[in-house]
A and B are shown apart, each in its own frame.
Chain A
Amino acid sequence: MRKQDPARRIRNFDEVALGFDEDEAVSEAERCLQCPRPWCVRGCPVGVDIPGFIRAIRERRFEDGIRIIWEKNALPAVCGRVCPHEAQCEGLCALSRGCSRYLTEEGKARIDRFLSRSNLIHRRRRPVSIGALERFLADYAAANGIRPLRGESKKEGRVALVGSGPASLAAAGELSRMGYSVTVFEALHAPGGVLRYGIPGFRLPKEVVDREIKQLEEMGVCFRCDVVIGRTLTVEELLEDFDAVFIGSGAGTPGWMGIEGESLNGIYSANEFLTRVNLMEAHRFPETDTPISVGRRVATVGGGNVAMDAARTALRLGAEESIILYRRREEEMPARKEEIENAKEEGVRFELLVAPIRYIGDENGWVREVECIRMEPGEVDASGRARPVPVEGSEFRMEVDTVIVAIGQRPNPLIPMTTPGLELGRIGNIITDEDGRTSKEGVFAGGDIASGAATVILAMGAGIRAARAIGRYIEDRRKQRSDGKYVSKDTYTG
């Protein structure tokens, strides 16, 4: 896919990846083998009919293509841009046989048999760019005014969704298609969750997020911002007005390492750093009112998508040097491969097998140096990666004037704290069954609040499963009520 030139793009916040035009999309689609038992679909958490929409692109039936995707995925413009494709659909694509880390030995053998039978074994080098094709169709639909079809008949039943990240957005789409009336409550002043305040515009333009939300509004979903559930209204109060509540409040609480000097000025959590820019537009200060301060040398601690986003944002805010400090090796970085490449192209420097142990400040309380220790790969741990072990005596110091800590987020405690009867897991996550049911009747949950920090598409998958379960729950209760077996909602929640 074409990209903005690195030297230019680090001076702006415009999207880096430029997307396919029609001819490029068709020719990429032609690479697909239309496998009879497509491996790729097994890699997609929501089971998009990938060969189906690719065939539509080949035949230039673009509207059909987007409708095929919409059946399973309400936010293709988002997923096409931010899904970790190499670990999901593209990682299992038959053509990725030569490069994927995600295929099992058995899978590889089966693909080899299939490819040699069809005399295509030489093509097994690069997967079909499924994500880019998905994005192409979503952008095509937006440019040509193609809309998802409106829900079937209206059904009786009101559902409240807490938080407006991908889990709730997907659930909202599904529930309103099913005909229920849906209200989304968001604590911040703008909807979208991490899509709004976390992922930078150069990866996911805010207009794309606006567009997806507007589409939901057109389907009848009502968004109420500035409502902090647990404070403005509690989950129990929502249950008085709604037939069911879905909690999609995400994993928004930043983790700290608990090392000396972490509260010095100039040390940000990645959430704070990215929120100041993405939600509050601090990069336009003083036209906008929210400030951000970025020094000459910026160190970002971590190796995930969040760390890449922060390090690349720092460059765009004028940092001369942007350095990633990561305690494992590059192949173990959880960030999307494409974004690691993009970061390198832009000049982000990677200090691998290194961990900070202390920050040193000046007399005004600003961070000036970070002391680090070198690590070496040790035994393989539960995540299947080598556990990093500090190398004694390898401490060294590095001058920095800004530090961004991006070592992970925990579930936001506000709702668990204010909702009696919710069973919680070890990290404060809400425990649910496969369908998103919590231990509290009428309350469902999904996305990062249940799973811990994960991905957009997993959150959406959880939202959709919960939406279907909510539909069944409401219908069951109505049936019980009309059979006279069940007390009415008012007496039940009262």
Chain B
Amino acid sequence: MGGGHIYRIIEKERLSDEIVKIEVEAPLVASKAVSGQFVMIRLREGGERIPLTISGCDPERGTITIIFQEVGKTTLDLGRLKPGDSILNLAGPLGRPPELKRFGTVVCVGGGVGIAPVLFRARVLKELGNRIISIIGARSRDMLILKEEMEEVSDRLYVTTDDGSLGQKGFVTDPLRDVLSDEQVDLVVAIGPIGMMKAVSGVAAEFGVKTAVSLNPIMLDGTGMCGSCRVIVGGEVRFACVDGPEFDGGLVDFDALLLRNRRYLEEEEISLKRARGCESHEKAGSSKAYQELR
């Protein structure tokens, strides 16, 4: 029922152990999407609706790019689809389009799978005449994605890993502090784990610079109807799917978001076991990422 469009996967590439890039046919979405917006997808009957950021789009080909990390049932199932397979439902582009203009110098900070949307943003901002300084980080060398692409679009690129296996050992805030001390920066964009976005917003605020962060609360409809995605920004309740997902990081209550994202830990564990059950011999990519989420 509902005369569904076919959202076919036309290309797929594994960027790391746990991170997958797919290109999906969705012409209407591709013709409209801008950096910062997302789609809600549902893989099959009985499947969950999950939000994923649009990490690129090609209006001519009628496709969008999605880069996701396998952390639980739905993302693992999505990671198993092959070119030619299709996704049952896909709606978008959702979310308020962010301000995209010439700011001057923009520092783009990406952590983990967050590097994917940051690359899209850096490309757009570069084209609009901004100077781009980028900082990307991951736990270790083989978790770091899209380094070459980031290099290409950035006037300067810093790389950090938690274990020092690539670039600087440490956290993205270390080079950020240096950049902010040395340079006149007009905007920071930070997309990645909640803890990272919180830390980056804190450091930028010390230097009086605003940070745009992209929040990832648990969503259900993505159309402003349920309030599952409510976050506290500047002391007020906002719905990330329609008022965001981008907000001024200086105003976001990140701790509340962390607690709210742990609402379904038990259920997620059950689902994950079921997802793993079907692939007992395969390596279930996500163990580390998943443990870290706990």
Contact = CB atoms under 8 A, between A and B. Distances in A.
Contacts of B46: 281, 284, 287-289
Interface string B84-111: 0000111111100000000000000000
B2 A225 contact: yes
A191 B2 contact: yes
A400 to B, nearest CB: 16
Interface of B: 1-5, 28-29, 32, 42, 46-49, 73-74, 88-94, 220-221, 223-228, 230, 232, 237, 242, 256, 259-260, 262-264, 266-268, 270-271, 274
A121 interface: no
Interface stretch (A251-259, A347-355, A456-464): A251-259
A232 B93 contact: yes
A22 B268 CA distance: 49
Given A365-B256, A413-B242, A228 B92 contact: yes
A309 interface: no
A280 B230 contact: no
Nearest to A361: B259
Interface residues of chain B: helix, strand, loop or mixed (majority): mixed
A369 to B, nearest CB: 17
Contacts of A213: 1
A187 B223 contact: yes
B224 A265 contact: no
A291 B268 contact: yes
Interface in A181-228: 186-191, 197, 210, 213-214, 217, 222-228
B91 A226 contact: yes
A342 interface: no
Contact of A280 (B1, B49, B74, B242): B49
B28 A217 contact: no
A271 B226 contact: yes
The 7 closest A-B pairs by CB, nearest first: A365-B259, A291-B267, A225-B2, A272-B226, A289-B48, A252-B225, A288-B46
Contacts of A414: 223-224, 242
Interface in A331-357: none
B104 to A, nearest CB: 29
B42 to A, nearest CB: 6
A262 B88 CA distance: 34
A263 B256 contact: yes
Contacts of B267: 285-286, 291, 293
Contacts of B2: 186, 189-191, 223-226
Contacts of B242: 413-414
A412 B226 CA distance: 11
B2 to A, nearest CB: 4
A290 interface: yes
Interface residues of A, number: 52
A217 B1 contact: yes
Given A253-B225, A263-B232, A275-B221, A225 B3 contact: yes
Nearest to A417: B242
A228 B51 CA distance: 14
B225 A254 contact: yes
B253 to A, nearest CB: 9
A276 interface: yes
A256 B237 contact: yes
Given A232-B29, A263-B260, A365-B259, A226 B4 contact: yes
Of the listed residues A232, A266, A276, A287, the one surrounded by the most CB atoms of chain B closer than 10 A to its CB is A232
A191 B225 contact: no
A254 B5 CA distance: 30
Interface string A263-284: 1011011011001100011001
A233 B89 CA distance: 17
A288 B74 CA distance: 11
A18 to B, nearest CB: 26
A263 B230 contact: yes
A228 B28 CA distance: 11
Contacts of A252: 223-225
B31 to A, nearest CB: 9
Contacts of A365: 256, 259-260, 262
A231 interface: yes
A271 B225 contact: yes
B89 A189 contact: yes
12 contacts: A197-B225, A217-B1, A224-B2, A227-B28, A228-B223, A233-B28, A252-B224, A272-B227, A280-B49, A287-B46, A289-B46, A365-B262
A222 to B, nearest CB: 6
A257 to B, nearest CB: 11
A364 interface: yes
A268 B263 CA distance: 11
Contact of A231 (B47, B92, B256, B263): B92
